[in-house]
Amino acid sequence: MTDMNAYRANWNYPTAIKAGAGRIKELPDHCKALGMKNPLLITDPGLANLPVVTDAVASCKAAGLACAVFSNIKGNPTGQNVMDGVAAFKAGQHDGVIAFGGGSGLDAAKAVALMVGQTGELWDYEDVGDNYLRVNVDAMAPVVAVPTTAGTGSEVGRVSVITDDTAHIKRLIFHARMVPAVVILDPEVTTGLPAKLTAATGMDALSHNLEAYCSPFYHPMATGVALEGMRLVKEYLPRAVKNGQDVEARMQMLVASTMGATAFQRGLGAMHALAHPLGALYDAHHGMLNAILMPYVLKANQSVIEERITALARYLNLPNPSFEAFLNWVLALREEVGIPHALSAIGIDDAQAQKVGEMAVADPSHGTNPIPFTAAQYSEIFKRAVVGLL
């Protein structure tokens, strides 16, 4: 029996993090400490009626907080979802946000908390140029974040990924102050996640650490965080997929996920540059897309990242550490946790290959890929991933 007390900790990097089993109990206290009397809990519709959410709402009410739920959010949240959330916040005269859920719920909640204090339109705050200077920071609502998946790490991210369903693209809403004031990492709220989603979100966490690690951007602290994040995925993702009730594995995967998003202040790369357009065009699961794309992108980047991937293979204690050893480990991990080898397995064909390539070059993650691929090169990587030709 694991002693989960060994995993109980309070961290202030990159924000205030309350880690440990059962710490969801502290939710009302953290809301009050941020001055909330009437928080709006924003979550994914699939979670809204589950005990994990209804218990949290009940605990807030028992502690004297008024608390309502908003859950009208798509799997890839849209601009309309965000503005509906802003309307609900204003109508209920709320004074703070509890961001509760997977990436969709957290991203939507963070965007709502930003937008309740702004006079402009949502896309005025897209991560383009110095748009972030337009944000009225003092008017943003305070946020407590509770991730229920271990993947996006959105609980410590400075952006929300929101789909513009008019233009059919994903846009990033950015402000450094979008990092929630308090994060609760409680593995017990993630034990209900099915194995398939545990695998897909866990591979997303791996992709964040990996792409951040391979980025050419100068940020040695992020490099260190990424290395250890990947080691945690290696040790604990197979366990979390095999047995969803393994609280120790769930705890370590939550931390690996938070580390991935901490590390990707260093930037992401071609996996995400491709996953973002594919998510917008096919409404496919973000983590699943990154998981399938991972080996194809590694191969395409090989000439530039070979040395640092060999160092990574040494850190992960892989036999005969090399680029090949790491690639083979990724392939074996994907198989072990049930990720298909080709995009065709999730219903994606190459009919829009040219468009995907053009959208990938325009994606913000493209800028920190180790090799500045052209649209044609992205199309080629995509086509290989569709048919499974590594």
Please give the residue ranges that form the binding site for Zn ion (CB under 5 A).
204
DSSP output for 312-344: HHHHTT-SS-SHHHHHHHHHHHHHHTT--SSGG
Cβ at position 381, least distance to Zn ion in Å: 17
In whole angstroms, what is the distance from residue 161 CA to residue 169 CA?
10
Task: Identify the CA nearest to 232 among candidates 253, 211, 218.
Answer: 253
Cβ at position 161, least distance to Zn ion in Å: 8
Cβ at position 151, least distance to Zn ion in Å: 7
How many Cβ atoms from other residues are within 10 Å of residue 320's Cβ?
A: 8
Select 271 or 386, whichever has its Cβ closest to Zn ion: 271
Indicate the residue type of 151: G
Alpha helices in the chain (DSSP H): 27-33, 45-48, 51-62, 79-91, 103-115, 195-214, 220-242, 247-263, 270-282, 286-315, 323-336, 353-362, 375-387
Select 30 or 262, whichever has its Cβ closest to Zn ion: 262
Cβ 255 vs Cβ 292: under 8 Å: no
CB within 8 Å of 51: residues ≥ 6 apart: none
Cβ 43 vs Cβ 56: under 8 Å: no
Select 41 or 222, whichever has its Cβ closest to Zn ion: 222
Cβ 259 vs Cβ 228: under 8 Å: yes
Cβ 172 vs Cβ 364: under 8 Å: yes
Select 152 or 190, whichever has its Cβ closest to Zn ion: 152
Cβ at position 263, least distance to Zn ion in Å: 12
Indicate the residue type of 236: Y
Nearest position to Zn ion, beta carbon = 204
- Residue found by looking up tokens 């009626």 in the block: 49
Task: Identify the CA nearest to 21 among candidates 235, 346, 246, 197.
Answer: 246
Cβ 255 vs Cβ 245: under 8 Å: no
Cβ at position 335, least distance to Zn ion in Å: 21
Cβ at position 63, least distance to Zn ion in Å: 34
In whole angstroms, what is the distance from residue 219 CA to residue 226 CA?
11
Cβ 209 vs Cβ 260: under 8 Å: yes
Token representation of residue 174 = 């950015």
Select 95 or 204, whichever has its Cβ closest to Zn ion: 204
Handedness of CA 315, 317, 319, 324 (dihedral sign): negative
Find the helix or strand (DSSP H, E) in which 169 lies: strand 169-174
Select 39 or 180, whichever has its Cβ closest to Zn ion: 180
Cβ at position 384, least distance to Zn ion in Å: 20
Cβ 270 vs Cβ 291: under 8 Å: no
Select 188 or 204, whichever has its Cβ closest to Zn ion: 204
Cβ at position 50, least distance to Zn ion in Å: 24
Select 204 or 246, whichever has its Cβ closest to Zn ion: 204
Cβ at position 334, least distance to Zn ion in Å: 16
Select 7 or 174, whichever has its Cβ closest to Zn ion: 174
In whole angstroms, what is the distance from residue 355 CA to residue 357 CA?
5
Cβ 153 vs Cβ 287: under 8 Å: no
Select 109 or 206, whichever has its Cβ closest to Zn ion: 206
Cβ at position 330, least distance to Zn ion in Å: 16
